[in-house]
Amino acid sequence: MRLRELGKSGLEVSEIGLGCMGMSHGFGLPKDEQEMISLIHGAIDRGVTFFDTAEMYGPFINEILVGKALAPYRDRVVIATKFGFEFDASGKPTGDVNSRPEHIRQVAEASLQRLGTSTIDLLYQHRVDPDVPIEEVAGAVKELIREGKVRHFGLSEAGVQNIRRAHKVQPVTALQSEYSLWWREPEEHILPVLEELGIGFVAFSPLGKGFLTGKIDETTQFAPNDFRNSVPRFAEENRAANQALVDLLKRVAGEKGVTPAQLALAWLLAQKPWIVPIPGTTKIHRLEENLAAADVELSVDDLREIADAASRVQVVGARYGESSQRLIDR
């Protein structure tokens, strides 16, 4: 597994990371802890050095899982986690954001404890807080960096203006946002700004929350507590309409002798040398499939064909439900 530098930060990570959210959150019940620890160890054995978690995932239990799994390998891996949501006294998410400086410090201290580490390699603001100037957020993380508790600062789903404003106070190492063949909005405004400022891009949901693997269609039934039940893009009629994009991927992947998932990841890797996708999985054979995408070579003609064909497919449905959509910064 080759390494990529996130922008011009000096932070090098494996060119494909591992998103750990689905092990504890979002896609049904939490998975068996020991099985997930074995999966994370399998990722390390295959060259993955970049692992993504957040206090929100579980909440809290995913950080504990990731901390346990990575403890024996701490000096070989990069751990990214996130702050920015509000929880009630019982630990249940309220649906509100909170990036007040004192809250950032509290979350960082708690995350360090759960992860069992003395330093967080990359600390993201999970969502922009409209009630707290981004300069105050960047300043709070800058102080944590001075103290050695955090190494790098990141943003997630932030818009151009907040990226620029934050970067002036504390250099932003990476922006983490959704990017894939079925969500290409970052190409218009976000990627040019990141390139200008020397900021890396960490792409979550690079396989369209599973849809681009070709394993989901309009007949697929999700678990009752799977968040895709509330995502408009995954409504039955929209899945049927969006099948055209998967059919395209299957055709081109078949010609290349790879899977649709590998083609989708290889396409993403080919966009910029500072883009790092973090597909999530709970199955070792899917991990192996995803990581093999790093060895898929796409020519300029291949990339043009995929982009041209994909641009003719109209993807139907919003990528978030209403409550989550309101938290996206523009």
H or E element, residue 140: helix 134-146
CA of residue 184 relative to chain centroid, distance? 15
- Residues β-bridged to residue 123: 81, 153
Whether the bond into 59 is cis, omega within 30 of 0: yes
**CA torsion, points 12, 115, 159, 189, in degrees to nearest 10?**
30
Tell me the DSSP string of 230-285. Answer: G-GGGSHHHHHHHHHHHHHHHHHHHHHTS-HHHHHHHHHHTT-TTEEE--B-S-HH
Assess whether 179 carries a catalytic annotation: no
For residue 223, the one-letter residue type is: A
99/125 Cα distance (integer angstroms)? 8
The first and second tokens of residue 65, run together, are: 């899982």
Of the candidates 57, 73, 179, 320, the residue annotated as catalytic is 57
Spatial separation of the C-alpha atoms in residues 155 and 138, rounded to whole Å = 10
Q: What is the DSSP secondary-structure string of 287-328?
A: HHHHHGGGG----HHHHHHHHHHHHTS---S-SS-HHHHTT-
Phi then psi dihedrals of residue 326, to 5 deg: -70, -15
How far apart CA 19 and CA 51 sit, in angstroms, is: 6
Catalytically annotated residues: 57
